[in-house]
């Protein structure tokens, strides 16, 4: 079993689909992950299960993997478990979570935007390019670069979970390139396909960060780390124009209003 804990989740689910179902029952959404390179032991660690739940989960998995073998429940692993419920983030991590809020508001507009593009004889591709500007400058430059240049570097870019996040960022950038190409070619279907692809990707990505990755990172940060991270984030933000935040908040509001009027 120890050897098994050190295998990546993609391999495990391919070999034992039943394990994927067990994980889903425990609200561990790794079965839908596009990368799947995280090790089973890391996945269990990162989800902050109580010792009882963790022992139960391992017991269930072990019975699937070694049928016929008599499996005993493991002794409870003693470690600090943060209480479940509302997640409390440290100030620098909270900053990233707050930025997700505006990105999520934008993502919520993608469906109606696609419907509008689809139903228009001459779609407003200028609006699409404005949306691309939001994605590139706010979601990517402003937000993702804080993750990539500061947070993920500090945590360790060679960790599997971080690799998964970086791959999501790259996939997002590829969708954006395609949206631009599509808009230039005035090809509705092309634009819609990649807007929706971006929406799906970022929805899952933000959920993974807010609910799994960030709480796990926070559990490992010392008080001193929190202070240093806060300073580094503030320095990154200070390099941008003063009205940067407001400009993009206004943009999202404006698109919300435009789409509401059309409904």
Partner 1 sequence: MHGHGMEGCPGSRMQDFRDNKETKGDESGKRASELRQWPIQLHLVSPMAPYYQKADVLLSADCVAYTVGDFHRDYLKGKSIAIACPKLDEGQEVYAEKIQSLIDDAKINTLTVMTMQVPCCAGLVATAQAGASQAKRKIPLKSIVVSLQGDVLSEEWVS
Name residue, tokens 């509001």.
253
Residue 89 binds which one of partner 1, Fe ion, none, with CB within 5 to 8 A depending on kind?
A: partner 1
Residue 230 binds which one of Fe ion, partner 1, none, with CB within 5 to 8 A depending on kind?
A: partner 1
Taking CA atoms, 45 is separated from 41, 78, 95, 171, in Å, by 6, 12, 24, 26
Alpha helices in 209-222 (DSSP H): 214-220
> Least CB distance from residue 10 to partner 1, whole Å?
36
Whole-number Å distance between alpha carbons of 37 and 246: 38
Whole-number Å distance between alpha carbons of 92 and 139: 17
Binding letters toward partner 1, positions 204-223, x by CB under 8 A: -------------------x
Residue 11 binds which one of partner 1, Fe ion, none, with CB within 5 to 8 A depending on kind?
A: none
> Least CB distance from residue 165 to Fe ion, whole Å?
5
- Cβ(1)–Cβ(62) under 8 Å? yes
Q: Could you tell me which of 177, 152, 176 has the C-alpha nearest to residue 163?
A: 152
Name residue, tokens 């100030």.
91
For Fe ion, which stretch binds (CB under 5 A), given 109-117, 153-161, 201-209, 235-243? Answer: 201-209
Nearer to partner 1, 63 or 228 (CB): 228
Residue 209 binds Fe ion (CB under 5 A)? yes
Taking CA atoms, 162 is separated from 52, 73, 153, 156, 195, in Å, by 28, 31, 9, 7, 24
Residue 197 binds partner 1 (CB under 8 A)? no
Residue 209 binds which one of partner 1, Fe ion, none, with CB within 5 to 8 A depending on kind?
A: Fe ion
- Cβ(40)–Cβ(12) under 8 Å? yes
Residue 234 binds partner 1 (CB under 8 A)? yes
> Least CB distance from residue 12 to partner 1, whole Å?
36
Residue 88 binds partner 1 (CB under 8 A)? yes
Q: Which of residues 217-246 bind Fe ion (CB under 5 A)?
A: none
Residue 224 binds partner 1 (CB under 8 A)? yes
Whole-number Å distance between alpha carbons of 76 and 256: 50
- Cβ(96)–Cβ(147) under 8 Å? yes
Nearer to Fe ion, 196 or 207 (CB): 207
Q: How many CB atoms lie within 10 A of CB 1?
A: 13
- Cβ(96)–Cβ(146) under 8 Å? yes
Binding letters toward partner 1, positions 89-108, x by CB under 8 A: xxxx-x--------------
> Least CB distance from residue 95 to partner 1, whole Å?
10
| Residues near partner 1 (CB under 8 A) | 88-92, 94, 223-224, 226-228, 230-231, 234
| Residues near Fe ion (CB under 5 A) | 147, 209
């Amino acid at each position: 079993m120890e050897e098994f804990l050190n295998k990546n989740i993609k391999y495990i689910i391919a070999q034992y689909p039943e394990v994927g179902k067990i994980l889903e029952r425990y609200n561990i959404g790794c079965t839908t992950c596009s990368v799947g390179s995280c090790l089973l032991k890391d996945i269990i660690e990162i989800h902050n299960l109580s010792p009882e739940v963790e022992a139960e989960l391992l017991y269930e998995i072990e019975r699937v993997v070694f049928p016929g073998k008599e499996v005993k429940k493991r002794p409870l692993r003693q470690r600090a478990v943060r209480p479940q419920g509302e997640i409390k983030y440290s100030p620098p991590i909270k900053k990233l979570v707050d930025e997700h809020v505006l990105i999520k508001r934008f993502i919520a507009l993608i469906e109606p935007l696609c419907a509008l593009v689809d139903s228009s004889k001459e779609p407003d591709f200028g609006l699409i390019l404005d949306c691309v500007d939001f994605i590139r400058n706010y979601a990517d430059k402003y937000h993702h670069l804080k993750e990539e240049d500061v947070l993920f570097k500090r945590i360790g870019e060679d960790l599997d979970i971080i690799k998964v996040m970086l791959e999501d960022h790259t996939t997002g950038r590829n969708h954006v390139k395609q949206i631009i190409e599509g808009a230039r070619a005035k090809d509705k279907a092309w634009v819609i396909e990649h807007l929706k692809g971006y929406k799906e990707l970022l929805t899952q990505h933000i959920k993974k960060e807010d609910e799994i990755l960030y709480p796990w990172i926070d559990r490992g940060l010392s008080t001193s780390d929190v202070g240093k991270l806060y300073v580094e984030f503030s320095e990154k933000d200070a390099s941008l124009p003063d009205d940067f935040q407001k400009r993009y908040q206004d943009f999202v509001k404006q698109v919300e209003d435009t789409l509401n009027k059309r409904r």
